[in-house]
Structure 1
Amino acid sequence: MTAHATLLIDESADRVVVTLNRPEKRNAIDARMVEELHAVCETLEAEPRILIITGADGVFASGADIAELLERTAADARRGINATVFSRINSLPMPVIAAVDGWALGGGAELAYAADLRVGTPRVRIGNPETGLGIIAAAGALWRLPELVGEPLAMELALTGRVLTGEEALAVRLLSQLFEPDDLLAGAHALADRIAANDPLATRMTKEVLRAPRADHPRVEREAQAVLFESPEKRRRMTEFLERRRR
């Protein structure tokens, strides 16, 4: 595991585990963390692997760093500092899993929404209380959350600042599974194991096609399948499947 100023990074052949590590600030997302997350993205764009994001000391991320937000200006808002890195994480070639424990508020929630899959614990508290601080959830919540849980619930959460418990987040499928805190990372790895057992190219193309605009379908499916039909890995996997059936 490699320690950086705000992240702990554990790399293996098929995945990278990133732990948000500012425990003294409840893993609040500051400019340095954004820079380090961009560096992680650069690595995974060059060498695609599954990404698991979690937080240190029983907290995912308590939000963006309020001390920094206080001093940000209109020009900073237009730069989309947090939104840009969350979109980059969302666009990584291989799946991203958020393993969420404890607080995931504001920017922390938006980072979790940017993942492809989210697992958590019963003690999760996730939501967007930004309007109580005189701002909006401008790093993806106001368009990702309606896609994830539906517009009526997203509207309620964004306008009231209500925070969901882990059980509530599971019930609306914002989280796909709940684990006890000590089992959370193992649960995320089990999910990553299932993904890693599949063909990486097929996985990458599945994510790409799922994210394609509706107007691009069914062309994008056909083009992706055309590439995969000619791949050596497709032939190997299908041949092995047929051989197992003959036994």
Structure 2
Amino acid sequence: MTTFATLDVSEQPDRVVVTLDRPAQRNAINAEMIGELHEVCARLEAEPRLLLLTGRGDHFAGGADIAELQARGRDDALAGINRNLFDRIGRLPLPTIAAVSGFALGGGAELAYACDIRIATSTVKFGNPEPGLGIMAAAGASYRLPQLVGTSVAKQVLLGGHVLDADAALRTGLVLEIVDPGTHMEAAHRLLDRIARSAPLALRLTKTIVDAPGTHPFADDIAQAVLFETDDKQDRMTAFLERKR
């Protein structure tokens, strides 16, 4: 197993648990972490498994590394350094879960937005203060956050500097569940256990269809046709009918 400098990665047969591991910097996302997360994505693309993302210590990720951002110029922005990673996480074949506590700000918030489902503690704070630093939230927040919470709330966060606390995150649907501090990983693993009981191909095709833009009834039909012909479908339905008998 690769040893990472900014991540703690635990690989299990059905899931990979990735902990952002720069607690002294509130797990700020720097270039090295971006590169290491790309390595994790490559593994999950080659061998699809569930992904659980969290942060070491009290916070998920307090943002991108400001010193690095200050040094970046136009060409760096056009390269979409953070956005390309977060988009790649969003495209991973199987479901991804973010277990979030404390600050999820700036790039940290955008990393959480890129996951399929979020579970948070009562200490959570989601926000995108980028305009206060003379930049914008350009790593996915402009198109992901409106889809997650609606355009009005997204503008309150992205333009008004509004921070979503635990109650607001739950009320707007940004998170599935709010749990006590220190219990978010347990809650996330319970969710992953439930997801892992489903058919992997059904999960993969469902995620692909849900994430596809627009309406796509024929794509739904084709995906269902593929699933109808699998041994997994026959075995699971047979077991279900036998339990009912």
- What's the TM-score once normalised by structure 1's chain length? 0.97
For 2:46 and 2:225, locate their aligned partners in 1 and report how far apart those are by CA, in whole Å. 24
Number of the residue aligned with 2:52: 52
Q: Which residue of 1 aligns with 2:242?
A: 243
Between the aligned partners of 1:76 and 1:194, the Cα distance in structure 2 is 40
CA distance in 1, matches of 2:200, 2:217: 22
8 Å contact 1:102–1:123 — kept in the other structure? yes
Does 162-171 or 137-146 show the bigger shift? Answer: 162-171
Q: What stretches of structure 2 of length at least 5 have no aligned partner?
A: none
The corresponding residue for 1:174 is: 174
Check conservation: 1:102, 1:124, Cα contact below 8 A.
Answer: yes
CA RMSD of aligned residues (A): 1.0
| Inter-CA distance 120–2: structure 2 relative to 1 (3 Å threshold) | farther
Structure 1: gaps of 5 or more residues: none
Residue 17 of structure 1: aligned partner: 17
Structure-2 separation of matches of 1:138 and 1:212: 21
What letter is aligned with 1:244? Answer: R
Q: 1:125 to 1:3 in 2, by over 3 A?
A: farther
Cα deviation for residue 236 of structure 1 reads: 0.4
Describe the SS at the equivalent of 2:164.
strand
Measure, in 1, the Cα distance between the counterparts of 2:159 and 2:118.
Answer: 23
Q: After TM superposition, where is structure 1 displaced by more than 3 Å over at least 4 residues in a row? A: none
CA shift for structure 1 position 3: 4.7
1:65 & 1:153 partners in 2: Cα distance?
A: 26
- Cα deviation 1:183-217 (Å, max 9, x = unaligned): 110000011011000111111111011011214x1
1:152 and 1:219 map into 2 onto residues whose CA distance is 32
Distance 1:49 1:244 in 2: 28
Query: Which residue does the alignment assign to 1:209?
Result: 209
Q: Distance in 1 between matches of 2:131 and 2:218?
A: 41
Number of residue pairs aligned between Structure 1 and Structure 2:
245
Percent identity among equivalent residues? 56
Q: Distance in 2 between matches of 1:131 and 1:210?
A: 31
TM-score by length of 2: 0.98
Map Cα deviations across residues 36-60 of structure 1 (whole Å, 9 max, x no partner).
Answer: 0000000000100000000001110
Q: Report 1:56-135 matches (<5 A).
A: 56-135=56-135
Retained in 2: the 8 A contact 1:120–1:175? yes
After superposition, give the CA deviation of every residue in 1:93-142 in whole Å (9 maximum; x if it has no partner). 00000000000000000000000000000100111000000000000001
Distance 1:58 1:179 in 2: 14
